[in-house]
Each structure stands twice: as structure tokens, then as C-alpha cells.
Amino acid sequence: MKGFETFKNLEELDNESKYLVHKAKEAAHHAYAPYSKFHVGAALMLEDGTVVTGSNQENASYPLCMCAERVALYVAATQHQGKRITKMAVVAHKKNHKELAAAASCGACRQVMAEFEERQRKPFEVVMHHTDSQWIKCESAHMLLPFVFTSESLID
Ligand code: THU
């Protein structure tokens, strides 16, 4: 894969990606999103085959809402320390809960994903349902955030 690939149908993706998308869809059902009604699920595959999921968790104090991707990443870092992430899948349900919406991870999540790659010194793939008719698979989270801010800037 050079950078990223796009797929018209989920069926065209590799089996592991399909499985992870399925887990992300399941996770989206656990979202707490009474304000946006936008239910997001994220699923991570770790190097030993463990799957860690997250869903968006909102709050009446809107800025406190947490995205599904970061919930999953922080759980992985806390409960599976030292295990590398190999792949991440992100999906979102439309308000009717029947169809998938475009789940393009927000900039904050892309920043956090990029630093997770740095921490583990290895890229992980990111699979997203990007538009109504297209899936996207990136070979690395860094690809999603060109000119990323990193810890290197903080070192004297
Ligand atoms: N959301 C995510 O969970 N992931 C993203 O990358 C984009 C946005 C959530 C945050 C909020 O609960 C809702 O979607 C609407 O922005």
C-alpha cells in the first residue's frame, strides 16, 4: 500500500479490517451522544490480537465531550501498556442509526493518533468510513495530519 487505499465496499477490505469495523460498529452502540446524536465507534487491534474499543462520550458541558478514538487509545495505553497498535477502525452512525455516516477523525484525534505512533515507534493502519460510498485505509496515522506538531519541538 502506498499511503492510502480507497474501497467502494466494505467487502473489498481485508478480513482483519472488516472484523475491526464490525467491532467499531458494535462500540458505536455504547456511545453517549444525547446532544449531537452522532454515535461514533472506534476499535483498535493490538499486536497480540486484543481488540480495544471506544465510543464518544458527551457531556452537557459541551467542551468536555470525548471522541471515540481517544477513548479507545487511552484505554489501550492504560490497560494494555507496551502492546503496539497495528490497526484502528472508526465508524459513525447517522441519526437514524440505520446507515453509516462519514467518520473522518477530528484534528484533535489525529494529533493524539500521531503521538501514539511515535510512542510505539511503528505506524498503525487507520480504516475509516470516509464518505457515504467510500472506505479509506491509510497506512499510518501520520498521513492524516501533515506537518504534525510533535514532542521534538519541545526539546531544547
Ligand atoms: N466525534 C468522535 O467521536 N470522533 C471524531 O473524530 C469526530 C467527532 C464525536 C464527538 C461528539 O460527541 C460528536 O462526535 C459530534 O461531534
Helix or strand run (H / E) with residue 80: none
Instruction: Determine the Cα–Cα distance for residues 118 and 151; give it in Å rounded to an integer.
Output: 9
DSSP symbol at 75: H
Cα 156 to ligand 1 centre (Å): 35
Please say if the pLDDT value at position 144 is more than 70. yes
Q: Which atom of ligand 1 sits closest to the CA of residue 36?
A: 15
Confidence band (pLDDT; 50, 70, 90) for 97? confident
Residue nearest to atom 1 of ligand 1 (CA): 67
Among 58-72, 96-110, 138-152, the minimum mean pLDDT is found in: 96-110
pLDDT at 47: 98
Mean pLDDT calculated for residue range 71-78: 98
Domains in the chain: ranges and CATH: 4-149 (3.40.140.10)
Please say if the pLDDT value at position 27 is more than 70. yes
pLDDT at 131: 84
Protein residues whose CB sits closer than 6 Å to any atom of ligand 1: 33, 36, 38, 40, 56, 58, 65, 67-69, 105-106, 109
Cα 94 to ligand 1 centre (Å): 12
Beta strands in the chain (DSSP E): 4-7, 39-46, 51-55, 85-93, 100-101, 125-131, 134-138
The distance of Cα 74 from the centroid of its chain, to the nearest Å, equals: 12
The distance of Cα 78 from the centroid of its chain, to the nearest Å, equals: 17
SS3 44: strand
Residue nearest to atom 10 of ligand 1 (CA): 67
Q: Which of 58, 69, 117, 125 is catalytic?
A: 69
- Is residue 117 within 8 Å of residue 141, measured between CB atoms? yes
SS3 50: coil
pTM: 0.95
Please say if the pLDDT value at position 1 is more than 70. no
From 32, 36, 110, mutation site for ligand 1 pocket: most ligand atoms within 8 A of C-beta: 36
69 catalytic per annotation? yes
Instruction: Determine the Cα–Cα distance for residues 93 and 102; give it in Å rounded to an integer.
Output: 8
All three cell numbers of 4 = 492510502
Name the percent of the chain in helix, strand, coil, to the closest 5: 35, 30, 40
